[in-house]
Chain A
Amino acid sequence: SQTIHQWPATLVQPVGSPLSLECTVEGTSNPNLYWYRQAAGRGLQLLFYSVGIGQISSEVPQNLSASRPQDRQFILSSKKLLLSDSGFYLCAWRDGRLSNTGELFFGEGSRLTVL
């Protein structure tokens, strides 16, 4: 069966510090991968998605970047965090072979607090 792991689960960082959140998927190959951010009262905002190694699409211009160095690894990064980067970050995957269900499977999330 497929599983998705995110870490760290919680993170407290000072303003201006770097960030690295990691997500890995097991039990599948060539998944589509997604990073969402959840802020209170705002629902889920799609930040980045990737359909393959090295292929990153950005949905919202911002202080963050994403990379996919391996097929089942997706990393969210920042060089200098802002207060507004605080939130709950969710990684998700879907089967890239399925052309039409659109169902996403989510990780447990990483809560980032920037002070």
Chain B
Amino acid sequence: AQSVTQLDSQVPVFEEAPVELRCNYSSSVSVYLFWYVQYPNQGLQLLLKYLSGSTLVKGINGFEAEFNKSQTSFHLRKPSVHISDTAEYFCAVTSLSGGSNYKLTFGKGTLLTVNP
């Protein structure tokens, strides 16, 4: 079984400050990892994903994440946030084993609030 833990339910920051949203996962097999963003009353949009290769993954809107296998982490970072980055962020994992259904398991989300 796989699971995802997002360590912070809420992260308030000031505009132009750096931010890190933490994500740890648990799985007995190799995984793919994702970060999604959700703006109020909307669906989820993919920010970035790690499938293989370089452990530093760059996504949309200036976000990046680093896969750390030894620490089973996939933290999301942005060097300078904008007001428009205010949203809820979800980390998700899917394992490479099993059938082709590839169900994503999501964390509970981190609400990022960027203040002026």
Known contacts A41-B108, A42-B108, A43-B109; is A99 also within 8 Å of B43 by CB? no
CB under 8 Å from chain B, chain A span 85-115: 88, 90, 92, 94, 96, 99-109, 111
At the interface, is chain B mostly helix, strand, loop or mixed?
loop
Other than the known A100-B102, A103-B46, what 5 A-B pairs have Cβ atoms closer than 8 Å? A36-B106, A44-B90, A51-B100, A94-B102, A105-B46
Residues of chain A within 8 A (CB-CB) of B69 are none
Give the size category of B's interface with A: 20 to 34
Task: Please tell me if B101 contacts chain A, counting CB pairs below 8 Å.
Answer: yes
Binding site for B on A (CB under 8 A): 6, 32, 34, 36, 41-44, 46, 49, 51, 57, 59, 88, 90, 92, 94, 96, 99-109, 111
Binding site for A on B (CB under 8 A): 9, 32, 34, 36, 41-46, 49, 51, 90, 94, 96, 100-109
CB nearest neighbor in B for A10: B41
Query: Can you list 19 A-B contacts (CB < 8 A)?
Result: A32-B100, A34-B103, A36-B106, A42-B108, A43-B108, A44-B106, A46-B103, A51-B100, A90-B44, A99-B100, A100-B102, A101-B49, A101-B102, A102-B104, A106-B43, A106-B44, A106-B45, A108-B43, A109-B41
Let me know if A102 and B102 touch, CB within 8 A.
yes
Let me know if A111 and B41 touch, CB within 8 A.
yes
Residues of chain A within 8 A (CB-CB) of B104 are 46, 102, 104
Let me know if B100 and A101 touch, CB within 8 A.
no
Let me know if B43 and A109 touch, CB within 8 A.
yes
Residues of chain B within 8 A (CB-CB) of A99 are 100
